[in-house]
Amino acid sequence: MKKLGNYVTGRWITGDGEGQALYNAVNGEPIGYASTRGLDFNAILDYGRKTGNPALRKLTFHQRGLMLRALALHLRNHLDKFYSISYKTGATKADSWVDIEGGIGNLFSYASLRRKFPNETYCIDGDPVPLGKGGTFMGQHILVPKEGVAVHINAFNFPVWGMLEKIAVNLLAGVPAIVKPATITSYLTEAVVQEIIASNILPEGALQLLCGSAGDLLDHVTAQDVVTFTGSATTGLQLKSHPRILAENVPFTMEADSLNCIVLGEDVTPDKPEWDIFIKEVRKEMTTKAGQKCTAIRRIFVPQNKMEDVWLALGKALSQTTIGNPENEKVRMGSLAGQSQREEVKAQVQKLLASSQIVYGSLDSVQVIDADSQKGAFMSPLLLKNDNPFGSEAVHNVEAFGPVSTIMPYNNIDESIALAKKGKGSLVCSIVTASNNIAREFVLGAATHHGRILVLNNECAKESTGHGSPLPLLVHGGPGRAGGGEEMGGIRGVHHYMQRVALQGSPTAITAITNVYQSGAQTREEEKHPFRKYFEELQIGDTLITHKRTVTEADIVNFANVSWDHFYAHTDHTSLQGTVFEKPVAHGYFILSAAAGLFVDAKKGPVMLNYGLEECRFIKPVYAGATIGVQLTCKEKIEQEKKAGDDIAKGIVKWLVQVTDETGEQVAIATILTMVAKKIQ
């Protein structure tokens, strides 16, 4: 029998002893064994910190992002292999797509996110903070990668997505990972890691894999490490309370199974499109992955007067779900992950039946296609009904982690909000309604108890990714029972693996550290115009002080006629009483245009085009007779990648534009962007 490998300290190692037996969830046949016995977990952590961490830290965000992209492209070449193994977990083709290609999609998403970061090994966090009246002392937060390892303890239901959605984030942040998948489906995770290691895309030490027990791994974590856990709330609490986690103040993120819910709005009737949308959403969430999703719908709340219509419609929809061997193209729902999982689900259902009744499905029998219902871990979808949700606690506390959900009534929107909250915190909640007023009232009332809320109606149904789909750029997590943590969330997730540091110093010092010009820092003026410099030649702080220009009444009138902006403050002398203006004022956009006329170099050169405007403030009114001048300063440089081989090598340059009048006071300030060619193509 095959024994799974552990990829640690730069090599594949099998654990001692026989280890835990692994079985095909569809037919019950043995697959192999998994063991981590005999491994030195302290050495594994140390290897990640000393080998993987420095290698990743020296890469910029852009380099890390391109690394993720290359990895995603590589894994796509091995999809057939991954799918063939995934079927053994009981997953259908559609289930496997979510797990495998959904996970690879996360790599692509975080690869693209590199463009939101500087081409540096660190990043700025938030706006600068002035700390002195004279402008010589300031503060600025920055983020640097932690010097430890991300330890990911994952659940059995998504052996690929669960790994890739987490490592995409920590790798972009510059931190290596140790992945400990749930042993029962770790054979699929191992297959993916084999391809990752074989690709040689990641630096050595950036990823390690443990197939089996975590042993004493947590006994050796430090404050520079990060631990994430996905699984049951009970196990998560035990890990979160580990003495070493507490003593070292190790960041710990938990995503626990939760009693997620869906609400049918009072406005929805069987003749409305939202009715069918609701039925399809519940059926999908009950049967996808055989209900083994941390985001699956466990509680269904519908208006009291629609209870029977809804559960009958759901029963009809569920009856169309074909169950059996996931490799058979006729099958729409596969098996649970294993026999032990099926027994656990049945035990939890028995607890629910103390206050509920089955209105669809059978606890003891199931019709299957191309399979043996006893040898495989198959189970019928079960729809339960509870008529007294305010008097029953089990339905809000007990989770049967399979194709099981309970329908319950409510009488008004306040009751629906109260019932949604009785789950004590969930990963996701959905409301299906055509009324924006109902949606608003429900969301604002229930938002405190849910990590994500999907408002589903006919307008968005076709494009909706669904109740159960966490997305890379949105946070995945929830309060209370759901774990109190967050995963992914785009930039937010990356920051979780970085240390925030508050810098204090002079603007010049902070400019040198951050590589972003800070107002008041020292500048450099040269005879060569900044617009005559190629991207590589420009330095942060390069400055141009322009000639001056006096604004005339003709300028104001002409700009109004050219722009068609005849706002009274610019053109009507008789309407200024009671305003902040003494007389017709120059248009703000004229001031900005006039500033450009002063600082732009007209000759053809490295500057290819104006790329946009990020910030613009008109601080002081400018009247006819005022004389303005401009200080143009190179504020920040952003690398751009070539989109094709014949593309021009270039970057984006941010310029600080400060416009002053004859008194020396600022009248306008803006950040403009230009696209600048590189000298070396």
| Cα–Cα–Cα angle for 128, 129, 130, rounded to 5 degrees | 120
Separation between Cα atoms, residue 602 and residue 613, nearest integer Å: 19
Residues in contact with 478: Cβ distance below 8 Å, sequence separation at least 6, in sequence order: 255, 258, 425, 426, 427, 428, 449, 450, 451, 452, 484
Give the full edge-to-edge strand order of the sheet including 20-23. Answer: 2-3, 30-34, 20-23
Query: Which position among 255, 266, 285, 399 bears the catalytic label?
Result: 255
Query: Which position among 294, 399, 429, 634 bears the catalytic label?
Result: 294
Whether 415 sits among the annotated catalytic residues: the reply is no
Q: Can you tell me whether residue 656 is helix, strand or coil?
A: strand
139: which 2 tokens?
């503060």
**Strands of 517-665, DSSP E:** 524-525, 542-545, 549-550, 607-618, 627-639, 650-660
What's 18's DSSP letter? Answer: S
Q: Which residue has the tokens 């996905």?
A: 230
**Strands of 210-298, DSSP E:** 226-231, 252-256, 261-264
Q: Which residue has the tokens 């076709």?
A: 462
Contact present, 56 and 170 (Cβ < 8 Å) = no
Q: Can you tell me whether residue 397 is helix, strand or coil?
A: helix
Widest CA span in the chain: 94
SS (H, E, C) 583-607: CCECCHHHHHHHHHHHHCCCCCCCE
Q: Which of 576, 587, 670 is nearest to 624 (CA)?
A: 587
Q: Which of 183, 157, 237, 233 is nearest to 402 (CA)?
A: 157
Here the contacts of 663-667 (C-beta below 8 Å, separation 24 or greater) are 665/620, 666/619, 666/620, 667/591, 667/618, 667/619, 667/620, 667/621, 667/622, 667/626, 667/628
Q: Can you tell me whether residue 200 is helix, strand or coil?
A: coil
Separation between Cα atoms, residue 616 and residue 128, nearest integer Å: 16
The helix (H) or strand (E) run that includes residue 153 is strand 150-153
Here the contacts of 18-23 (C-beta below 8 Å, separation 24 or greater) are 19/212, 20/183, 20/212, 22/183, 22/184, 22/186, 22/187, 23/338, 23/339
Separation between Cα atoms, residue 57 and residue 174, nearest integer Å: 5
φ/ψ of residue 304, rounded to 5: -50, -45
Q: Which of 271, 278, 307, 256 is nearest to 430 (CA)?
A: 278
Whether 294 sits among the annotated catalytic residues: the reply is yes
Packed helices 186-199 and 61-76: angle between N→C axes, nearest 10 degrees? 120
Q: Which residue has the tokens 């972003």?
A: 516
Residue 473 one-letter amino acid:
L
Active-site residues, by number, are: 255, 294
